[in-house]
Structure 1
Amino acid sequence: MDLLNLAEQVVLWWMCYSCIGWVWETGLNLVLKHKWVDRGALNGPICPIYGNGALLVILLLHDVTNPVALFLGSGVIACTLEYVVSWQYERLFRIRLWDYTDKPFNVNGRVYLNGFLAFGAGATLIKLVVQPGLAHLTAAMPQPWLHIAAWGLLAVAFVDWLISTMGMADMDNRLARLGEDVKAGRLEAIDKANSDMAEANVRMEQRLAQAQRSARDRLDQARDRIDDAILDIRAVGRKGEAAALDRLTGEHVRRALSRQQIRLLRAFPSLRSSARRELTDRIHKLLER
């Protein structure tokens, strides 16, 4: 077997395991949440992290046959890969696609025990049961079909990866612009409160001028009204940003973000922007409706 032939087979293995990962993630979400959500990080029906993890186990543990050793080694490889990918996403795109902070036995919210167990068991099954049959199948493919399948699928995956990466890179900019809209909404709320206070003062003065009361009564009423208005303005200043986030609508989000970015937010309920966590929390609530 020449090197090119082996490389083309590896591409097919990677694509197969990436598709299996997508089916697993999407099917599990459907079973647990009774809701169809495309759980892939790319636009196509693949989860590359599963393909990468499977290949790493196959290549690095190729001579390991003991199930226990394979399970432990696979779990370590898979969790290391997941940790690195999570860190890279946050460093490059300023977003976390997943966050296990609230899970027991997690490491910086990027990996946790259940993932180790699931990936370890799944990779062990793949290495001992699935891979021998898949390798036999790809080795038996006629050369022309192997060339077409490997290079065709690789080209499609690369284009998908490029488009998806551009969308992720643009997400932080779009969230920043959406955050500016939220800030503008907060300032509008404060301006409205100031305007309301001014109108209240005018009405107060008119009533005081017409009222036939003592100077002390008029002064006390004015002082009480002004104190109440000041308290209202301070409350608006403290709650302005939360109020602005509450006024953010799903329609506004759909106008501000691309279809791919909205799909990612739906696919990863724990996706958060490093710089705009409250904003992404609000967007998730809107998209869940």
Structure 2
Amino acid sequence: MLFGAQVFLWLMFYSFCGWVYESTLCSLTGKRLVNRGFLNGPICPIYGFGALLVIFTVGSSGNSPVSLFLSSAVLACTLEYFTSWAMEKLFHARWWDYSSMRFQLNGRVCLAGFLVFGTFGLVLVEWVHPWLERKVISLGEPTIWMLTGGLFALSASDVFATVRHVLRLDERLEGIQEEMERLLTEARAHGEHWALEANLAVGEIRHNAEEQRTQWRSRLRERFEERARGERMRALLDRKAFQDRRLMAAFPNLRPHRTEAWETLKHHLRRDKKDTEGKEHEDMQ
């Protein structure tokens, strides 16, 4: 039992290290602070589970540095690929995509990640984990159990809240998509001028250039928001705005299967944020 608690603390430590790495990398590349990760708290569990996978499979087998590097990279990339696939199946969304990078596999893993994970695995087994193992043991049994209980409660509640939000987000996107289709049908039925624009926006006229279709999509979203002032649509667009913005920032390449509904929600959130900032600026003056 005590060993299980120690392993859980290892998991939390490596998950936190993964969050630091991801948040730092994304903040530097995006030139703004980003709370990177699926969960609200400062942990990326995929890094924690990846570290444990390496520790318990190749960590104590006396491998050479090259063998350890390659084994760690293969194990971590396998985990990343499976996690990407599982999250897409569960939440109907693509959370990261390496399709634009060279040497990638189905957009789920890439060579750069392979090299990073291999290096992390080598450093982990040779230096970090021996130190961490001694450090955790030195805490003493009461402290280990206290930390395990507290961290487990926090992480479990975070997982529950985040998963519930993402599942409900998928339901909201379905509702937004239905409302968009209803407006399109209504526009066609009334012979409105912007029905043709709506058709272009959803790609029904295939021969138009992508740039033009993007412009039409923007127009459609504006018209959609103008008409979507009803109680149901406001509830769909405004519900859990903070969580939605956090996911947008943490996963800028997030691609739900209901793409048009997601782009409409993003457009609404950005517009709402600008309006709020504008009002705050006026109040300060």
2:249 is the alignment partner of 1:266: yes
Task: Please state how far the C-alpha of 1:239 moved relative to its aligned partner.
Answer: 2.0
CA contact (8 A) 2:174 2:261 kept: no
CA contact (8 A) 1:57 1:77 kept: yes
Residue by residue over 1:213-244, the C-alpha shift from the partner in whole angstroms, topping out at 9 and shown as x without a partner, is xxxxxxxxxxxxxxxxxxx86x3463254342
Query: Which residue matches 2:281?
Result: none
Query: Which residue matches 1:8?
Result: 5
The one-letter amino acid of 1:278's match is E
Task: Please state how far the C-alpha of 1:281 moved relative to its aligned partner.
Answer: 4.2
Task: Please state how far the C-alpha of 1:257 moved relative to its aligned partner.
Answer: 4.8
Query: Which residue matches 1:45?
Result: 42
Which runs of structure 2 are paired with 1:203-214 in the superposition (5 Å)?
Answer: none
The match for 1:244 among 220, 223, 243 is: 220
Over 3 Å counting, the alpha-carbon distance change for 1:285 and 1:100 in structure 2 is farther
TM-score calculated relative to the size of structure 1: 0.77
CA contact (8 A) 1:185 1:244 kept: no
Pick the structure with greater CA Rg: 1
CA contact (8 A) 1:89 1:96 kept: yes
CA contact (8 A) 2:18 2:43 kept: yes
Question: Which stretch shows the higher mean deviation, 236-245 or 122-131?
Answer: 236-245
The match for 2:115 among 100, 114, 117 is: 117
Q: Which runs of 5+ in 1 are unaligned?
A: 197-231
The one-letter amino acid of 2:107's match is G
Over 3 Å counting, the alpha-carbon distance change for 1:181 and 1:76 in structure 2 is same
Over 3 Å counting, the alpha-carbon distance change for 1:133 and 1:176 in structure 2 is same
Task: Please state how far the C-alpha of 1:187 moved relative to its aligned partner.
Answer: 3.8
Residue by residue over 1:76-129, the C-alpha shift from the partner in whole angstroms, topping out at 9 and shown as x without a partner, is 111110111111111111111111122211111111111111111112111111
Over 3 Å counting, the alpha-carbon distance change for 1:158 and 1:256 in structure 2 is closer
Over 3 Å counting, the alpha-carbon distance change for 1:190 and 1:24 in structure 2 is same
Measure the CA separation in 2 of the matches of 1:254 and 1:130. 45
The one-letter amino acid of 1:74's match is S
Task: Please state how far the C-alpha of 1:57 moved relative to its aligned partner.
Answer: 0.5
Query: Which residue matches 1:151?
Result: 149
Query: Which residue matches 2:65?
Result: 67
Compare relative contact order (CA 8 Å, sep 6+) and give the higher one, 1 or 2.
Answer: 1
- Look up the SS of the partner of 2:50 in the other structure: helix
Task: Please state how far the C-alpha of 1:248 moved relative to its aligned partner.
Answer: 5.3
Query: Which residue matches 1:24?
Result: 21
Query: Which residue matches 1:163?
Result: 161
TM-score calculated relative to the size of structure 2: 0.78
Task: Please state how far the C-alpha of 1:191 moved relative to its aligned partner.
Answer: 5.4
Residue by residue over 1:200-225, the C-alpha shift from the partner in whole angstroms, topping out at 9 and shown as x without a partner, is xxxxxxxxxxxxxxxxxxxxxxxxxx
Which runs of structure 2 are paired with 1:58-137 in the superposition (5 Å)?
Answer: 58-62=55-59, 63-137=61-135
Query: Which residue matches 1:226?
Result: none
Measure the CA separation in 1 of the matches of 2:126 and 2:224. 51
Task: Please state how far the C-alpha of 1:40 moved relative to its aligned partner.
Answer: 1.5
- Look up the SS of the partner of 2:253 in the other structure: coil
Measure the CA separation in 2 of the matches of 1:140 and 1:181. 59
Residue by residue over 1:36-64, the C-alpha shift from the partner in whole angstroms, topping out at 9 and shown as x without a partner, is 12111111110000000011001111224
Identity of aligned residues (%): 37
Q: CA RMSD in A?
A: 2.4
Q: Which runs of 5+ in 2 are unaligned?
A: 203-216, 272-285
Residue by residue over 1:106-160, the C-alpha shift from the partner in whole angstroms, topping out at 9 and shown as x without a partner, is 1111111111111111121111111111111001111111110112211211111
CA contact (8 A) 1:40 1:267 kept: yes
CA contact (8 A) 1:174 1:257 kept: no
Question: Which stretch shows the higher mean deviation, 257-266 or 71-80?
Answer: 257-266
The one-letter amino acid of 2:252's match is P
The match for 1:278 among 231, 256, 260 is: 260
CA contact (8 A) 1:26 1:38 kept: yes
CA contact (8 A) 1:182 1:244 kept: no
